[in-house]
Amino acid sequence: MAFSNSHVMTSSRLVETIQINFEDFSESFLTCGTCLNLFDAGEHQPKLLPCSHTLCRSCLQRIMQGPGPGRQAESFRCPICREGIAVPHGGGAAAFPPSFVVNQLLDLMASQRRDLVPKCSIHSGRELLFCETCDTVFCPACLSHQAKADHTVLSFSVAVKRMTEILLYKATLAASQLGSAYEAVCREVETLDANAEACMQSVDQAFQQLRDLVDRRHSTVRETVKRVKEEKRRALKEQLELIGQEKARVESECEGLQYQMDVMAITKKISDLNAKLDTFAGLSEPRENAYMEFSRDSSASGVANANVVDDECLRSVEAALQRCGKVRVSTTHPGLCSVQLLSGADAATAGLRCSALLHTVDYHGRRRRDGDDPVSARLETPGGEQLEIGVVDKGDGSYELNFLPLSAGRHRLDVRVFGRPVRDCPLALDVAGRQRPAAKAGGAGRGSQPGQLQAPYAVAVGRNGEVYISDTGNSRIVVLDSTLRWLGDLGRSACTGQSATGLAVDAGGRLWVANWRQRRVFEVEPVEDRISSSLQSAAFREPGLVAVGPRGHVIVGDAGAGAVFVCDPTLTEADGAVLARIDGLSGLTALAVGCHDSAASAVQREPQMLLCCAVGAKLLVYEIGAGQGSEAESAIGIRHSLTGSACGSSAVTGLALDSDGRLLASRATGDVEVHSRPLGEFLCRVVPDEAEKLRRPGGVASLGQGWLAVVDAQGHAVKKFRYV
């Protein structure tokens, strides 16, 4: 829109044309500064104040309204400049003069935008309104739309302006995103060029090495030809020299024979020449042959099939060259790939190893069936520390990500392929500081009823996954399934006197129960619930721990005698050979370690045994059956403590080994440590939730598939936790 401002001059007329944006002009000059509505000829009629500011009639009526109903203030302050304004007597807001300039501008603007802002077809002077809540355009005079009090109603022109601004914002945002996309694709093109150049250099380097090998082999074969030629030539030259010497000697001896008259001398010469003729027959045949021919296959012998051998050699070389070098490419589209936690989003616990699975797909969303993608992953801790994640290529288009969060809080898992983030990455991962048990038995109070335990001491797992608990306070063995559901009880005859503590299961599925008060170790048949046999020894004092060795021997820990005994289960009156003298024994377990003969036959001998004994915070490991005993000692929990605090020096209260040789050690602090092997590296720590804290943990056992069961003597319960 153009306004003309004419200035009369002495000799000419200057016409100045100003370009004004309609929306900016309306907002600056044709909008009430108080309610921000456009001036019109009705409710928002522009009124000129003595201070030269313009307000709409509706705002003036509201400002002039007195403290009581129906009353009107005699004066007010301009909301724009704060100048005092006296209200005209008897007229109210209508008594203020109209703003002539604004009305003129409204008429001018109306004439210019008559086609832009539609009017009501019935009430031509009324501007349409727009209800944002109902998304409806209506005329207030027609009452075709009943706007509710909580609805947002705007003039149509303001609504158009707002929607135009939203449209412009969205368009700007779309343009920005397209610009970012363009830059990303450009970077990918640059990376492609750089990778292709690096690939070309690698190709050139690899084939240059092949050419160097060929050149070296070429030089070696040529040198061989030269060497063999010289050797053969030397032998033939020596033969030629010998022939020449003999010929000269014969010619020298034959000179003057035609003048020789002595028959005897001639006869002797003839005899000598006859002898030499026999010798010269050997000189007539070359001592070395001149045969020399190149064969492409160094292992080939004979010349009958030389052409066939050469063809096969060329084909083998060609095949080897075909296998030499490969340009690796991938159709993976990182933006469509997904990451999934293997154990669920709520399974991440500080101190426990977690796993996630990356599924790769192509641009069309089809799952990849092969691997070899360059996958990288990092875990960002709440403190901003970046932890590397192990990536295992499963070869089927999926990748396993293994990581160990060390602290509680929100972590961020960032997974990238080709350096580009996969879908929804970085992922927010909430890591719990403590773990709630997946299942538990007992804990409802002391008692002998089903579902109740009293001071349980040890736990063992049978061949079929059943869980046995030495319920010491109730003088029985409780049987649970792998989910710790109650199955029954047994072994009351072996658990008399509330003194049955140690518990173990042998390879045949039979239970061995150590009763320290009776100084015996009972063999219990769980199916028939009867005592099959018992072990006793004069050396027993308080046999409270029991384990079964790899060769079926029963290992008995006796804190009263301060010793560990090995017993033959076939003898009821055991000699109880002392394996070790140990004071303060609190845990016991044993495992087999296969050893091989150093001879070439590698015949496996009797398996040796590692005996693990807990004494306070220390773990003593004895090697049994290897021909000589050796003792190693380590304070577990001190050098492997996650926090490095003094809690690592607390006593070990239970030991167990899983099928992979990992050592489980329950601690008096109420947690369970997991080590890769006896005296091996620390893997993780199971820390129960505060509400499920182990108040006095005892025996521990592996349930398989990364689960363990640990008893709580003071809490009268057994609980199941995940440790892998």
Within 10 angstroms of residue 349's Cβ, the number of other Cβ atoms is 25
Q: Which residues of 645-672 are buried (b: 16+ CB within 10 A; e: fewer)?
A: eebbbbbbbbbbbbeeebbbbbbbbbbb
Could you tell me if 455 and 563 lie in one domain? Answer: yes
Give the model's confidence band at 70: pLDDT under 50 very low, under 70 low, under 90 confident, else very high: low
| Domain shared by 477 and 582, yes or no | yes
* Per-residue pLDDT at 290: 85
Name the helix (H) or strand (E) containing 251: helix 156-254
More confident residue, 680 or 179: 179
Task: Tally Cβ neighbours within 10 Å of residue 315.
Answer: 10
Alpha carbons 148 and 159: distance in angstroms, whole number: 18
Q: What integer is the mean pLDDT of 582-610?
A: 48
Same domain (yes/no): 582, 685: yes
Q: Tell me the pLDDT band of 13, cut-offs 50, 70 and 90.
A: very low
Q: What is the pLDDT of residue 644?
A: 30
The residue out of 409, 431, 453 marking a domain boundary is: 431
Higher per-residue confidence, 207 vs 348: 207
**Shared domain check, 446 and 420:** no
- Mean of pLDDT values over 161-179: 85
The Cα–Cα gap between 583 and 564 comes to: 10
pLDDT of residue 639: 29
Q: Residue 195: inside a domain, yes or no?
A: no
- pLDDT for 67 equals 66
Supply the CATH number for residue 486's domain: 2.120.10.30
Q: Are 477 and 495 in contact (CB under 8 A)?
A: yes
pLDDT at residue 267, rounded to an integer: 79
Residue 146 pLDDT class (50, 70, 90 cuts)? low
Please count the other Cβ atoms lying within 10 Å of the Cβ belonging to residue 130.
21
Q: pLDDT band for 451, please (50, 70, 90 cuts).
A: confident
Residue 476 in domain: yes
User: Percent of the chain having pLDDT more than 90?
Assistant: 12
Count of Cβ atoms closer than 10 Å to residue 492 Cβ: 14
Q: Which of 9-18, 93-102, 599-608 ranks highest by mean pLDDT?
A: 93-102
In the prediction, which pLDDT does 104 show?
A: 84
Is 417 a residue whose pLDDT tops 70?
yes
Same domain, 551 and 518: yes
> Is it the case that residue 74 has pLDDT exceeding 70?
yes
Average pLDDT value for residue range 22-27: 58
The predicted structure's pLDDT at residue 469: 93
Give the model's pLDDT for residue 307. Answer: 61
495 in the same domain as 443: yes
Maximum separation of any 2 CA atoms in the chain, in Å? 187
| Structural domain for 667, as ranges | 439-596+607-722
pLDDT at 2: 41
State the Cα–Cα distance between residues 314 and 297, nearest whole angstrom.
Answer: 9
Residue range 300-352, pLDDT digits in tens: 555 555 566 667 777 888 888 788 877 788 889 988 999 988 764 456 777 77
Helix (H, G, I), strand (E, B) or coil at 186: helix
- Measure the CA angle with vertex 377, ends 375 and 379; round to 5°: 175
Distance CA 80, CA 422 (A): 55
- Using CA atoms, how far apart are residues 477 and 492, in angstroms rounded to an integer? 7
Q: Residues 449, 371: one domain?
A: no
The residues near 484 (Cβ < 8 Å, ≥ 6 apart) are 439, 440, 441, 467, 709, 718, 719, 720
> Quick one: CA dihedral 306, 308, 313, 314, positive or negative?
positive
Mean pLDDT (the chain, rounded): 78
Tell me, what's the pLDDT at 415?
A: 92
- CA–CA dist 433, 592 (Å, integer): 35
Mean pLDDT of 195-220: 89
Structurally, how many domains does the chain consist of? Answer: 3
The predicted structure's pLDDT at residue 719: 93
Look at residue 454 and tell me if it is in a domain: yes
DSSP state, 38?
B
CATH number of 48's domain: 3.30.40.10
The torsion angles phi and psi of 103, rounded to 5 degrees, stand at -65, -40
| Listed range (125-139, 437-451, 570-584) with the worst mean pLDDT | 570-584
User: Cα–Cα distances in Å, from 479 out to 450, 487, 491, 531, 697?
Assistant: 10, 5, 10, 16, 19
Asked if residue 402 and residue 448 are part of one domain, the reply reads: no
In this prediction, residue 363 carries a pLDDT of 87
pTM (predicted TM-score): 0.54
508 residue type, one letter: G
Domain end point (choices 113, 146, 165): 113
Strand pairing class (608-615; 618-624)? antiparallel
pLDDT at 90 over 80: no
Q: What HEC string does 281-333 produce?
A: HHHCCCCCCCCCCCCCCCCCCCCCCHHHHHHHHHHHHHHHHHHCCCCCCCCEC
CA distance 33 to 80: 8
Query: Does some domain include residue 559?
Result: yes
What's the pLDDT band for 586 if we cut at 50, 70, 90? low
Let me know whether 501 and 631 are in one domain: yes
Q: What is the pLDDT of residues 352-410, one digit of tens each?
A: 778 889 999 998 888 988 888 899 998 888 888 888 888 999 989 999 998 888 788 88
In a domain, 662, yes or no: yes
461 and 378 assigned to the same domain: no
Question: How far apart are alpha carbons 368 and 692 in whole angstroms?
Answer: 44
Higher pLDDT, 126 or 190: 190
CATH number of the domain bearing residue 385:
2.60.40.10
d(CA 332, CA 420): 11
297 in a structural domain: no
Q: What mean pLDDT do residues 107-124 have?
A: 66
**By CB neighbour count within 10 A (0-12 exposed, 13-18 middle, 19+ buried), where does 459 fall?**
buried
Is 411 in the same domain as 449?
no
Alpha-carbon gap, residue 655 to 55, rounded angstroms:
86
Ranges 18-22, 58-62, 551-555: which has the least confidence: 18-22
- Token pair 């007992």 is found at 442
End residue of a domain, out of 113, 133, 155:
113
Nearest to 429 by CA among 408, 443, 444: 408
Omega before residue 426 within 30° of 0, cis:
yes
- The model's confidence at residue 629, banded by pLDDT at 50, 70 and 90, is very low
Cα(186)–Cα(156) distance, rounded to whole angstroms?
44
Asked if 554 and 612 sit in the same domain, the reply is yes
- Confidence bin at 685 (pLDDT 50/70/90): confident
In a domain, 70, yes or no: yes
Using the predicted structure, report yes or no on whether residue 220 has a pLDDT greater than 50.
Answer: yes
Query: DSSP string covering 651-720, please?
Result: PEEEEEE-TT--EEEEETTS-EEEESSTT--EEEEE-B-GGG--SSEEEEEEEETTEEEEEETTTTEEEE
459-500 pLDDT, tens digit per residue, is 999 988 999 999 999 999 999 999 999 999 998 998 988 899
Is residue 48, in this structure, part of any structural domain at all?
A: yes
Lowest mean pLDDT: which of 249-258, 433-442, 675-684?
249-258
